[in-house]
Structure formats: C-alpha cells, structure tokens
Amino acid sequence: MLHILWSIIVGFFVGLIARAVYPGANPMGLVKTTLLGIAGSIVGGLIARLIWKPKPEQKFHVGGLLLSIVGALIVLFVWQRLF
C-alpha cells in the first residue's frame, strides 16, 4: 500500500516538473498531472533499466528519477500531438 502512495506522490512531482519544463501552456488538473508523472515514471524507468542496471540491494535508482522526468516530457509531447 505504501508503494502505491509513494508512486502517486512522486508521479505528481514528476508531472509538475515536466509541465514546468515543457514549453507552452499545459492546462491540466491535479489528476492529469499525477497520471502524466506516473506514466512518465514508467517510461523513464524502462529507459533507465535499459541503460543502467541497478544493483539488487539498491532501493533508489537515480537514473530512474532523472529519466522519469524525461519520460514524462515524452508522454506530454505525444499527448500534445495526439490531442
């Protein structure tokens, strides 16, 4: 349960950072910003695991956090182009 709550909180902050970095207006509410961050974290985490292999005992992957923001920017770019 704590993992889900932590994913929502981190997803919200990643979504906020992605919206702040991405140029132009991004009218999104709290829920869409959180979903953007969670989707970006999934995309960025997959990219990070392809580039860097974390150690099994490592709980926090710095590359995953940085690439979560990049993943959220990719998701936001695709979202802006589709809709």
Among 11-15, 22-26, 38-42, the least confident range:
22-26
What number is the average pLDDT over the span 5-22?
90
Check residue 49 and give its pLDDT: 76
Check residue 61 and give its pLDDT: 66
What number is the average pLDDT over the span 40-53?
82
Check residue 65 and give its pLDDT: 78
Percent of the chain with pLDDT over 90: 39
Count Cβ neighbours within 10 Å for each residue of 33-46 and write b for 16 or more, e otherwise. Answer: bbbbbbbbbbbbbe
Give me the residue spans of the domains in the chain. 2-82
Give the predicted TM-score (pTM) of the model: 0.83
Assigned token pair, 67? 């690439």
